[in-house]
Every structure is written in C-alpha cells, then in structure tokens.
Amino acid sequence: MLKEFSLIEGGAIIPEHWQSDRVKAEIASILGVKIEEIEAINYWLKQIWVKLVGKGSKFVSYRSLSFWFDDALLLIETCQDVVFFEQLGAMFRYELKYHAKYYSCDRLTRLQDAWQQQLPQFQTEASRLLLQLARQKEALKWQENCLKLLAQCRDWHSLDECYWQIRENGQDFRDLTEVIQAINDFYHQKSDELNQSGDFWTSL
C-alpha cells in the first residue's frame, strides 16, 4: 500500500493557485471579521496562518475553504493516469483518517460518487499495467540471458550464429525496442572487438 499523506504534501492541491481575493473573503467569513481586518495570509504546510490588524494571528484549516473541496473533487473527475489515481487513493485515505470532521456527508457522497465513476476504467488500466510490467520483466530477464550468451562467444562465426538464433527466438519481444536494441548494440560491439583482435577474419 502506498504511503498516506495529505493532498498538499502530495502536491495534488496547491493553495498558491487559488484566487487570493476569494480566499481572503472566505477566511474573513470563517473568522467573523471584515476583509479589511486581514493583514496577511501565509500558506503553511498543515494550515493557513492569518495575520489580523491589531488582533494578533489565527490559524484556519485548508479544509474549511470551498476551494479545497472543489479541487479535491476536480482531481478525481479529471484524473487520467492510473498511477496518480492510486496515489490519490492514498491521499484521500489520509484525509478520512485524520481530517474526516471537515467533510460533510454531502461532500463525502459527492467524492465517493466521483470515485466510483472513475474506478472501473482504472481497474482495467491497472490490470493492463500489471500485465505490461510482468511482460517487461520477462523481456529483461530474456535480454540478460541473451547478453550472457553473446559474451561467451569467442569467434565471429559463433557470435553471428548465436545472434540470429536470438533474433529468431525473440519474436515475442520485437515490439520492445529498447530490449532488442540493447542486444543489437552488444552484438555490434562484440563484432568490433573480434574484428580488432583478428578473430573476425580467422573464423571466415
């Protein structure tokens, strides 16, 4: 399971992108003060620091603002990446574990509905990704064995024969260009080495 952390710590929500005038208006409403009484606002990692004119300072939770929920909902609705969707899941688990009191039943329902709507496509994508990773792992293992076989060749004839046998047996991985290219590069490098040592010509 992915490490759980807040939406801000995960870089999913960036308060600095919020419209400052609207943020100030919301904070003023939450604190029960006039907008003019707010001297400064600083976005800290865990909460918002608010400096009031002649009244010291106060802290306001990010989750008290409508911006927070709007961004959280938008993150789910617009997510197109299966890896980021998994990361979002970890971040929302953190939210519900430590900050559930800031989420009303209505907001939780809307988040849950959005999540359920997105989930099927990412479950399919996750399965596809797992199959892709398994195939990549298999290809890299095959590549490793092929490179060992080529490295053991002591003359050009055995090298060439081994190489073309590898090409024939590796048809299943021909679409993985980086895997095939590494073998091709090693083959040409080995050919040059044998050529320079004279084994290229003596084997003809």
List, for residues 174-204, the tens digit of each pLDDT value: 888 888 899 999 999 988 888 776 654 444 4
pLDDT reading at 121 higher than 80 = yes
Do 99 and 144 sit in the same domain of this protein? no
Which of 3-7, 78-82, 180-184, 195-199 is least confident? 195-199
Domain count, the chain: 2
Do 87 and 23 sit in the same domain of this protein? yes
Which of 20-24, 55-59, 122-126, 169-173 is least confident? 122-126
Do 89 and 41 sit in the same domain of this protein? yes
Residue 170: domain span: 135-202
Do 99 and 149 sit in the same domain of this protein? no
Q: The tokens of 178 are what? A: 């980086």
Do 79 and 142 sit in the same domain of this protein? no
Do 97 and 34 sit in the same domain of this protein? yes
Q: What is the distance between the alpha carbons of residues 130 and 108, in angstroms, rounded to a whole number? A: 30
H/E segment holding residue 82:
helix 82-98
Task: Give the mean pLDDT of the chain.
Answer: 88
Do 99 and 139 sit in the same domain of this protein? no
Q: What is the distance between the alpha carbons of residues 92 and 76, in angstroms, rounded to a whole number? A: 10
Q: Is 4 left (phi over 0), alpha (psi -120 to 50) or beta?
A: beta
Domain boundary among 103, 121, 151: 103
Q: Is residue 86 part of a domain?
A: yes
Whether this prediction's pTM lies above 0.95 is answered by no
Taking residues 87-116, report their average pLDDT.
90
Do 78 and 153 sit in the same domain of this protein? no
Q: Which residues of 33-55 are buried (b: 16+ CB within 10 A; e: fewer)?
A: beeeebeeeeeeeebbebebeee
* Highest-scoring range by mean pLDDT, 1-10, 37-46, 98-107, 117-126: 37-46
Q: Is residue 96 part of a domain?
A: yes
Do 92 and 32 sit in the same domain of this protein? yes
